[in-house]
């Protein structure tokens, strides 16, 4: 039969374990939200970069037309190189975000697991102290 103090010890361990589980779950959810925000932000940034490139290409075509140049040769090469460079920048933004998202999702899994392990440890040590 357990004494009142032993029961209080077990209850305290249970409450502490529940707190660790909740903390791990909340940290995991926060990291998952961070991953989602990072991914969305990268998409917006890449889209903005592509839109800026489209505007630049339009200005380049207008200036070339105004100067009487044709869309061939060095002007076309310059416009193509500019567009390729902008697309590489957009892809780099998305690639960097993808790596960050994967890191955040891994950390989210780890946080949830750490909460479970911490809770189990608390329960086991509480039981060990109670039933020495």
Q: Residues 43-99: pLDDT tens digits?
A: 999 999 999 999 998 888 888 778 776 656 677 888 889 999 999 999 999 999 999
Tell me the residue range of the domain where 114 lies. Answer: 4-130
Query: Which of 1-5, 12-16, 66-70, 78-82 has the lowest average pLDDT?
Result: 1-5
Q: In this model, does residue 33 exceed pLDDT 90?
A: yes
Question: Domain total for the chain?
Answer: 1
Tell whether the model's pLDDT for residue 17 goes beyond 80.
yes
Percentage of the chain lying above the pLDDT 90 cut: 58
Q: Give this prediction's pTM.
A: 0.71
In sequence order, the 6+-apart residues with CB closer than 8 A to the CB of 118 are: 17, 20, 24
103 CB-contact burial (10 Å; exposed 0-12 / middle 13-18 / buried 19+)? middle
State residue 43's pLDDT score.
Answer: 94
pLDDT value for 29: 95
Segment 32-36 mean pLDDT: 95
Query: Pick the residue with more confidence: 7 or 123?
Result: 123
Q: How many CB atoms lie within 10 A of CB 21?
A: 17
């Amino acid at each position: 039969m357990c004494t009142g103090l032993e029961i209080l010890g077990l209850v305290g361990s249970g409450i502490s374990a529940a707190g660790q589980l909740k903390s791990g779950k909340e940290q995991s959810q926060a990291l998952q939200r961070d991953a989602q925000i990072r991914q969305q932000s990268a998409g917006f940034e890449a889209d903005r970069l592509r839109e800026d490139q489209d505007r630049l290409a339009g200005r380049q075509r207008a200036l070339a037309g105004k100067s009487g140049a044709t869309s061939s040769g060095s002007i076309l090469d310059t416009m193509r190189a500019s567009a390729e460079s902008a697309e590489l920048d957009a892809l780099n933004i998305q690639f960097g975000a993808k790596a960050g998202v994967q890191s955040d999702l891994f950390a989210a899994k780890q946080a949830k697991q750490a909460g479970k392990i911490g809770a189990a440890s608390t329960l086991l040590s509480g039981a060990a102290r109670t039933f020495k």
